[in-house]
């Protein structure tokens, strides 16, 4: 039998079925009514209540009825004991509404927390990206300065060849004579142990070599140095890199690692 509209009794039956509170025989008969009679009124009510049950299962922990619902349950028990008729459908309906409202409130809090956290993480990411952009802008400015310097007609290029066990190593000096600077680059020169250092020397036409810089290479054998050329260094005939004790020495004592004529 199909129903035309939802009545109080039909609401009660749908609530009991959705809550699993029917006896076995009542459940079978009601299930038959839904499946065989295809009653749209009852099916709609059951689907609504079962959706509420599913939402409660995933959204909030199990909870006791509110004090108002507990009071109604006590009143129902007293009515049964006294033989007075009761309207159980209203009680069940209010209980469902109470639970659903609590679930919706908790869901709203969870969503608000997730949005706040996502916004905080997004602001943190933006700060990191802005910092990285600033670093790249500084690096770009430095690279432009280097390019302008290295391509200037006043810059002299000096190549240094690997010596001894370092035949595969190479170095290059960009000598900006107007600004009295060396831009020194090394590639494929193996890094030294902690008790050793490489030392670059200004080698004048006359007199003793003058230390330019003490350094070591990175794990990939590279190094980059910007060096001021002293006023006292006037005429140079070569640039050389030697292997010295850690920290370097006043005058070269170790073997050549790189050597280039000026």
**pLDDT averages per 10-residue partition of the chain, 262 residues:** 82 76 82 85 80 54 52 55 50 53 57 66 82 85 71 83 94 90 95 97 93 96 94 88 97 96 90
The answer for residues whose C-beta is within 8 angstroms of residue 27's C-beta and 6 or more apart is 17, 20
Residues 223 and 189: beta-carbon distance below 8 Å: yes
What pLDDT score does 100 carry?
54
Triad 209, 214, 252: Cα angle to 5°:
35
Residue 60 pLDDT? 46
Say if CB 202 and CB 239 are below 8 A apart: yes
CA of residue 228 relative to chain centroid, distance: 42
Return the closest-CA partner of residue 174 out of 150, 148, 154, 140.
Answer: 150
Tokens, residue 230:
């002293």
CA-derived radius of gyration, the chain: 44
CA distance 218 to 258: 16
Output phi, psi for 131, to 5 deg.
Answer: -65, -40
The reported pLDDT for the residue numbered 108 is: 59
pTM of the model: 0.47
How far apart are the C-alpha atoms of 37 and 31, rounded to whole Å? 10
Q: Which distant-in-sequence residues (6+ apart) come within 8 Å of 88 by Cβ?
A: 12, 76
Q: At what angle do helices 88-150 and 67-82 cross, to 10 degrees?
A: 160
The gap from C-alpha 162 to its chain's centroid, in whole angstroms, comes to: 44
Strands (E), the chain: 155-162, 170-176, 181-187, 196-204, 210-215, 223-228, 236-245, 256-261
The pLDDT score that the predictor gives to residue 62 is 47
Distance from C-alpha of 121 to C-alpha of 103, rounded to nearest angstrom: 27
pLDDT at 117 (0 to 100): 67
């Amino acid at each position: 039998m199909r129903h035309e509209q939802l009545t109080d009794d039909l609401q009660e039956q749908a609530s009991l079925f959705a809550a699993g509170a029917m006896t076995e025989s009542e459940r079978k008969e009601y299930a038959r009514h839904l499946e065989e009679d295809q009653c749209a009124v009852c099916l709609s009510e059951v689907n609504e209540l079962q959706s509420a049950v599913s939402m409660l299962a995933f959204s909030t922990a199990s909870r006791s009825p509110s004090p108002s619902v507990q009071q109604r349950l006590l009143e129902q028990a007293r009515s049964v004991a006294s033989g007075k008729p009761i309207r159980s459908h209203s009680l069940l309906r209010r209980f469902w509404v109470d639970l659903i409202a609590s679930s919706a409130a908790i869901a709203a809090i969870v969503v608000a927390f997730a949005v706040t956290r996502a916004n905080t993480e997004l602001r943190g990411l933006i700060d990191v990206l802005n910092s990285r952009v600033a670093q790249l802008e500084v690096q770009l400015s430095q690279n432009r300065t280097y390019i302008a310097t290295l391509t200037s007609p006043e810059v002299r290029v000096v190549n240094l060849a690997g010596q001894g066990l370092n035949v595969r190593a190479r170095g290059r000096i960009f000598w900006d004579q107007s600004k009295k600077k060396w831009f020194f680059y090394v590639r494929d020169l193996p890094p030294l142990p902690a008790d050793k250092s490489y030392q670059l020397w200004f080698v004048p036409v006359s007199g003793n070599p003058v230390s330019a810089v003490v350094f070591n290479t990175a794990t990939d054998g590279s190094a980059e140095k910007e060096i001021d050329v002293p006023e006292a260094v006037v005429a140079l005939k070569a640039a050389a890199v030697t292997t010295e004790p850690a920290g370097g020495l006043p005058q070269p004592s170790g073997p050549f690692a790189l050597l280039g004529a000026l």
